[in-house]
Amino acid sequence: FIVVTQPPQVPANSDPAEGARARAFVDWSRIDPRDTPLVTPERVAAKIAEDGAAHHLYPLEVAALTVTALRSVGVEAMLAELFAFEGDRSPADPSGRLGYFIPVLSEAPPEKVALLDPYGGRSGKLASAEYQVLTDLQAVGLALSLRAIYLLTRDQDLEGAMADTDAALKLAPRSPSVRGVRALVTLGSSSGAQAQSELEAASQIRPDASRRNNLAGLLLVMGDVDGAARQVALALEQYPDYAAAQVTLASVHLARMEQEQARVALQTAEKLDPRIPLVHMVWAQYHARRRQWDEAIG
């Protein structure tokens, strides 16, 4: 479990970006949670020492390791939740729940904050509207939120997930990622209206494509196809290369019996991200609508 403090066991020379170059970890779709729980910075440091292991790490884990390593050598650093990279055509956090995180140097004035991105290896300037610095307690809230997803989806522990999201909301109520996880957990308890309320709150905090796409998915489940279409259109207007939103768009087209448009959206999603989750399920729905049973089963 991640707590951003100053653990002396984390090597000061731990370099997540170097680990990425050695394929110790690789980027992945980051839509669904992985099947292993969140780990401590010390364990992340061990993982990035394994050349070629190709671990799936969370940006929170890599950023937390960087913060602890910087603090261990006396550099004042904080964890920050990053929402957008300037000029990108897809969101930093396509899930709207797992989050994207970076370290920031505490002593730097806001107008001179440099982008330090150990997960993706980017550098440059950082606009204040693109990130939110977290206190250590807020960082714990984000970690609890990630653990809640694991408990819900992998352990089927709804009670534990609800308890973690309760605590996460108290610690980091202004994080749209925390609100997104809360929506997922409340949906697991069959509370569609409460889930919609949480997603709408997330969209008010951060009205971006990830939040809109999640809201579109829920509206589809609740039968509001027109509402879903509006939200996913806004998501793709902001990020045209957002693969998960293309999958949602395909589902909207299928709900409207627009089979050709659904096919195009699915093909676009696969081209943008061949690993995108849910695309096979929506393809199966597409083939079933066309009575292509062998393709739907396959």
What would the pLDDT profile of 165-175 be if each residue is shown by its tens digit?
A: 999 999 999 99
Q: Is the pLDDT of residue 6 over 60?
A: no
Three-state secondary structure of 127-187? CHHHEEECCHHHHHHHHHHHHHHHHHHCCCCHHHHHHHHHHHHHHCCCCHHHHHHHHHHHH
Mean pLDDT of 246-260: 97
Q: What is the mean pLDDT of residues 236-258?
A: 97
Average pLDDT over residues 243-255: 97
| Angle at which helices 176-188 and 158-171 cross, to 10° | 150
- pLDDT tens track for 183-202: 999 998 877 888 999 999 99
**Residue 181 corresponds to which tokens in the numbers above?**
């996880």
Q: In whole numbers, what is the pLDDT of the chain averaged over residues? A: 89
Q: Is the pLDDT of residue 12 over 60?
A: no
Over residues 29-39, the pLDDT tens digits come to 999 999 999 99
d(CA 36, CA 58): 11
* CA atoms of 185 and 164, how far apart (whole Å): 10
Asked whether 136 and 166 are in contact (CB, 8 A), the reply is no
Q: Is the pLDDT of residue 1 over 50?
A: no
State pTM to two decimals.
0.89
DSSP 291: T
- Residue 161 pLDDT level (bands cut at 50, 70, 90): very high
The beta-strand segments (E) located in 73-149 are 77-82, 101-105, 114-116, 123-125, 131-133
The C-alpha atoms of residue 234 and residue 82 are separated, in whole angstroms, by 20
pLDDT at position 220, please? 95
Q: For the chain, give me the number of helices (H) and strands (E)?
A: 13, 5
Name the most confidently modeled range: 15-24, 103-112, 225-234.
225-234
Of residues 3 and 136, more confidence is placed in: 136
